[in-house]
Structures are given as C-alpha cells and as structure tokens.
Amino acid sequence: MKKFFVVNSWGKGESPIQFASVPKQQKADISAFKKAKKKKKNIKDSSTASGQIFPRPPLAPPPSPPPITESPALKQSKSILRGRVTKPNKKSKPAKESPNKIKMPTPKPTQSSSFEAKLKENLMGGRFRFINEQLYTMSSKSANKLFREDKSAFEAYHEGYRHQVQKWPMNPLNKIIKFIKKLPKDSVVGDFGCGEGKLGQSVPNKVFSIDLVACRKDIIASDMANTPLDNECLNVAVYCLSLMGTNLNDYLLEANRCLKMGGILLAAEIESRFDDVRQFIKSLENCGFSLIKKDASVKLFLFFQFKKVRNVGKEAKLTPFSLKPCVYRKR
C-alpha cells in the first residue's frame, strides 16, 4: 500500500492518508482499454493520411409529416386576419391561347353582300308571287303544262312557299298530321297537292303523295283531276292549301271516286279566299260529301272535315266553282 502526504489545513503538521491499491486484474483491463484506444486512433490517423475515408452508413430520412389541408373556412379566416377578404371568382377564366396561334379575322358582311342577298330574296319572292297568281287563275291542265315546260318553276314556287310558311302563326299541315295520327294505322291516305311530301314522311299510314311535279321517288307526278289511283282505295283524302285553279269540281269528283264510302275529306285553306263559306260547303255536297265539322279556331285559316255519303261519278254535271286567289303583299 502506497502512502501519500497531504497538507492538513485544520492543524499543524502533516498526517498520512492511505489509499487502497488497484487490483492486478483491474490494472490489466485498464491497460488493454488504453492500448485498444491508441490502436484505433493510429488506424484513423493512417487512413486520413492515405486519403481513404470510411463513410458512415447513411441514416434513414425522417418520415415526412402528412400534408396539412386547409378548409375554405380556415383560408377565409386567415384572409380576414391579414386584413383582406377575397370573394370567390365564379366566372371561369378563358383558356390561354398559344402565342403562335394565328387569329383569323371574322368576316363582316359588307354592304354589297347584304344588298345582293336582299335583291336575291326580292327576285325569289317576285317569282313566287307570279307563279302563285298563275296557278290560281288557270286550270290544272294548264298548270301541268307550265311545270313541264319550266322545270325550275316548281322549285322556285316551293322555295317561296317555305319562306311564306315561316311568317304564318302555324303550318296548317301540322294540324292535319295530328288528326291522321289518331286514326287507325291501316287507314290509307291520299295527299292531293302534296308539294314536298311532308305528310307522307310524318305519319305511319300508307300515303299516296300526288302533285304536278315529283321531287322524290315516292311522289306520284299527276294532275289532281285525273290520278292513277284505283276506285275506292282511300280512307282519307287531304287538300292542304291545294284547292287552286279554276276547275275545283274536277279535283273533288276525283276524291269522291278514290274514297271509300264513309271516307273522310280534309281541307285547309286561307280564310281570305272565301267569299261565302256556305257556297263552298254546298259545292262539296254536290260532289257527294256531307260536312262533319268546320274549324275556325286558328287565325288566318279554315279547316273542313267532310264525309263521303254517295258516289257521284266523274261525268256529273255540276256548276263550276273556284275560290278567290290568295294575293301576297308585294315588296
């Protein structure tokens, strides 16, 4: 045991203090630890001197926190705290156009083009009125000859007719179509003066479409006074704005021939064409028909529904009658 001498500040002189000696095994452990530490230091110094660096294994990145989503109410409250309130923009922003895209200017109608269109419309309307007046003041034979000699006249007439229909409160053909749709589907219809054949394309019934000129394959080109239809083959005969000409008796006697007994004749005409409606009804009674209904509920037009009550025959001696021409306003 070793002895150490310390100064005793509490009294005079020195008093020896004895410390316990370290055991040999503990000394060996301390010496081994110092040697290992020195060896590790020498290895680190030598690796640094030779330029070799032993990197530490990479540490795993810390997990990223979940994204924080702010509700619209929270965003608005933050805006209020910052001193401003932004209103939601309901209007969608237009898509940005590419700067390389070439914008084509929209052509504006020039004064000359509008004048040409108006002139063309006036010419078309003038030709329609001219043909229309001829059809009212000539027989069906003469009208047939007119369209055979001038094939463009039929197209010009119906082009003007389409423009005229747009000015009316309604198309009277639509009322007739509605009536026929209520009939049994096996009812056979004859459309006399069908024009472009709209009736045949609008109902499920079998329809014989007849006019002076056939603009489609399903239309029969024929004089309405002498058609190729068989006797008593129709349940319904239609005359929608087609009682034109000076020989209306011939049209109605042809309808009497083609209609079955008890068959229906439907007629629609402009009201201004009638001087005396009672005289018109009397003329149809002479052709073998009896009035069922007269309808004046639609402004500008009169609708008639007749029933065939007897066979008259094509050779019947009847007083000729006609309706007033429909005069359109000149521009």
Q: Give the pLDDT confidence score for residue 264 in this predicted structure.
A: 98
The region of weakest confidence among 1-15, 130-144, 273-287 is: 1-15
CATH of domain 170-308: 3.40.50.150
| pLDDT band (50, 70, 90) for residue 91 | low
- State mean pLDDT over 285-312: 96
Helix (H) or strand (E) holding 289: strand 289-295
Query: Is the confidence at residue 16, as pLDDT, over 90?
Result: no
Sheet holding 189-192, edge to edge: 219-221, 207-211, 189-192, 234-240, 259-270, 301-308, 289-295
Question: Is residue 123's pLDDT more than 60?
Answer: no
Helices (H) and strands (E) in the chain, counts: 9, 9
C-alpha to C-alpha distance for 266 and 240, rounded to whole angstroms:
8
pLDDT of residue 287: 96
Q: What is the pLDDT of residue 173?
A: 95
What is the mean pLDDT of the segment spanning 267-289? 95
Domain boundaries, the chain: 170-308
170 contact partners, CB below 8 Å, separation of at least 6: 298, 301
pTM above 0.75, yes or no: no
pLDDT tens string 30-79:
777 777 777 666 665 555 555 555 555 556 666 666 666 666 666 665 55
Q: What is the mean pLDDT of the chain?
A: 79
| Rounded mean pLDDT, 172-196 | 96
> What angle (nearest 5°) sits at the alpha carbon of residue 291, between those of residues 313 and 209?
60
Percent of the chain at pLDDT > 90 equals 40
Residue 239 has pLDDT above 90, yes or no: yes
